[in-house]
Amino acid sequence: MRMESVTLIKESSIANSKYEITSGATDYTALNIYGNYTKTVGKHDFSAMAGFNQESYTYHEVKSARWDMINDNLPSLSQGTGAYENKKLFLNIEYVDCFIV
């Protein structure tokens, strides 16, 4: 199973102050494999089950902001005269599990 690139883009502007844009994406992958084995020898039954599970989750986000817009009706990162801010967030989680029953 793979769920890929749930993307978020958010823009906001506060009059006479700040323009901000945020972009984020999520990538989730899961792999599950398992099998059963049954064997009968005479009056005896034998069975086994084995499996493998692997999951990966990645999220990244970029956030940029600029203060003091030249024109509050047309806000953009290039229209600001004030301070500039750029932040990045990255998260990666991997999980692997094997089992025998």
pLDDT score of 41: 92
Q: How far apart are CA 72 and CA 53, in angstroms?
A: 52
pLDDT tens-place string over residues 38-95: 999 999 999 999 999 999 988 888 888 888 888 778 778 888 888 788 888 888 888 8
Tokens of 73: 């009706």
Contact indicator for 66, 97 with CB cutoff of 8 Å:
no
pLDDT tens-place string over residues 18-38: 788 888 888 888 999 999 999
Closest CA to 12 of 89, 91, 56, 65: 65
pTM summary value: 0.55
Q: How far apart are CA 38 and CA 13, in angstroms?
A: 65
